[in-house]
């Protein structure tokens, strides 16, 4: 019987050793005196037969580790992790307690997993992320600099604006185009989505409209031209542009506006009233081929103002999922005598309060005042 039991124990031992030898990970067992009492074959192949040696010396170290995970595991019965360098390789080490039949901890088993490639990949990804971050910072600076500065244009209109991208780069764009001595182009556009893709399309919009020069006098032609150039990009159907484009004439004090699917209607401030002007129109996208744009004339007087904005404000939602939309006109009516900068800031502050400070889309607002 003793012989049979001995053979069973030997078979069980060989079976356990075969399992440990077949592992990719390195395994060693360390006792309370920090001496190695077992290693599996992969570890022996890497550093030799170090059984009986002190654990840190077996790894080529002259002194004890500053943080000894074996001692912590044996003392507190905790599973402890750290990283260890052996030669030119980096290992993730997990130390676990081993208990006897009485539940007492008498040694610790350490499993070394080679994470060298993972660490190298992390370094590469980190380096790429840092480069991408720098590129995004640079792109953000460019996007901020192309936004028209507040001030007086062509000695006839005054502009005040506010732009708050929801991410580092935004998908809203607005600009003032100096067409000629008599006419000024003005637009507010919104690209579906935000981030890098949307910001690239905003650059396309700006450059396309700048290149029109005197052709930008015709607001209907301008949107048709923008539409034709946009279709040449062959973008997916989920991308589209909404835009309000107008041409203000300094002699007649009229502004001719065309709506390319922009659902945020301009709000006109006159001496005696504030009104939202409804201008229908379809967005610029790949879904619609034959789109007819209509031009709307607004007669303005000195002191009149027009507020343009994007749906980052109008579609802000509160906890009940209600949208902010109607409150914009209410704030304008309540603050119609306020200066443009104060009025815009009050709308933004009110929208933030309404949405519990959760404006999750780009916000762009621009007020044009006739001098």
State what percent of residues in the chain have pLDDT above 90: 58
Q: What domains does the chain contain, in order, with CATH numbers? A: 2-115 (3.30.450.20), 149-370 (3.60.40.10)
| Chain segment 194-210, per-residue pLDDT in tens | 678 888 888 899 999 99
* Residue whose C-alpha is closest to residue 257's, from 267, 271, 247: 247
Question: What's residue 96's pLDDT?
Answer: 93
pTM (predicted TM-score): 0.72
pLDDT tens by residue, the chain, 371 residues: 556 555 555 665 565 555 555 678 899 999 999 999 999 988 989 889 999 999 989 888 888 888 889 999 999 999 999 999 888 899 999 999 999 888 899 999 999 999 999 999 999 999 998 888 887 777 777 777 888 899 999 999 999 999 988 777 778 899 999 999 999 999 999 998 767 888 888 889 999 999 898 899 999 999 999 999 998 988 887 889 999 999 999 999 999 999 999 999 999 999 879 999 999 999 998 877 777 889 999 999 999 999 999 998 998 898 888 899 889 999 999 999 999 999 999 999 999 999 998 888 889 999 999 99
Report the chain's C-alpha Rg in angstroms.
35
**C-alpha dihedral (215, 298, 275, 282), degrees to nearest 10:** -40
DSSP bridge pairs for 284: 241
DSSP 294: -
């Amino acid at each position: 019987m003793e012989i049979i039991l001995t053979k069973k124990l030997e078979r069980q031992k060989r079976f356990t050793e075969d399992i440990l030898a077949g592992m990719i990970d390195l395994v060693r067992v360390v006792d309370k005196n920090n001496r190695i009492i077992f290693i599996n074959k992969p570890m022996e192949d890497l550093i030799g037969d170090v059984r009986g040696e002190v654990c840190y010396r077996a790894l080529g170290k002259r002194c004890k580790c500053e943080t000894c995970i074996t001692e912590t595991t044996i003392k507190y019965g905790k599973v402890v992790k750290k990283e260890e360098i052996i030669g030119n390789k980096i290992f993730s080490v997990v130390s676990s307690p081993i208990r006897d039949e009485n539940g007492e901890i008498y040694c610790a088993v350490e499993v070394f997993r080679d994470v060298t490639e993972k660490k190298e990949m992390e370094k590469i990804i980190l380096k790429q992320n840092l480069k991408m971050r720098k590129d995004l910072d640079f792109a953000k600076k460019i996007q901020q600099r192309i936004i028209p500065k507040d001030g007086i244009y062509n000695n006839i209109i005054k502009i005040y604006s506010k732009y708050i991208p929801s991410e580092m780069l935004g998908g809203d764009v607005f600009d003032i185009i100096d067409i000629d001595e008599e006419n000024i182009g003005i637009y507010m556009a919104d690209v579906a989505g935000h981030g890098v893709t949307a910001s690239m399309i905003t650059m396309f919009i700006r450059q396309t409209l700048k290149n029109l020069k005197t052709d930008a006098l015709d607001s209907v032609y301008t949107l048709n031209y923008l539409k034709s150039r946009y279709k040449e990009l062959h973008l997916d159907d989920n991308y589209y542009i909404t835009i309000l484009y107008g041409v203000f004439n300094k002699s007649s004090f009229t502004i001719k506006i065309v709506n390319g699917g922009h659902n945020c209607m301009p709000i006109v401030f006159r001496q005696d009233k504030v009104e939202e002007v409804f201008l229908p129109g379809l967005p610029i996208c790949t879904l619609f081929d034959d789109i007819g744009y209509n031009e709307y004339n607004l007669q303005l007087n000195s002191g009149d103002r027009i507020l343009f904005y994007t749906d980052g404000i109008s579609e802000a939602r509160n906890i009940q999922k209600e949208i902010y939309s109607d409150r914009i006109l209410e704030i304008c009516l309540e603050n119609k005598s306020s200066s443009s900068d104060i009025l815009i800031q009050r709308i933004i502050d009110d929208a933030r309060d309404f949405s519990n400070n959760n404006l999750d889309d780009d916000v762009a607002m621009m007020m044009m005042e006739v001098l």
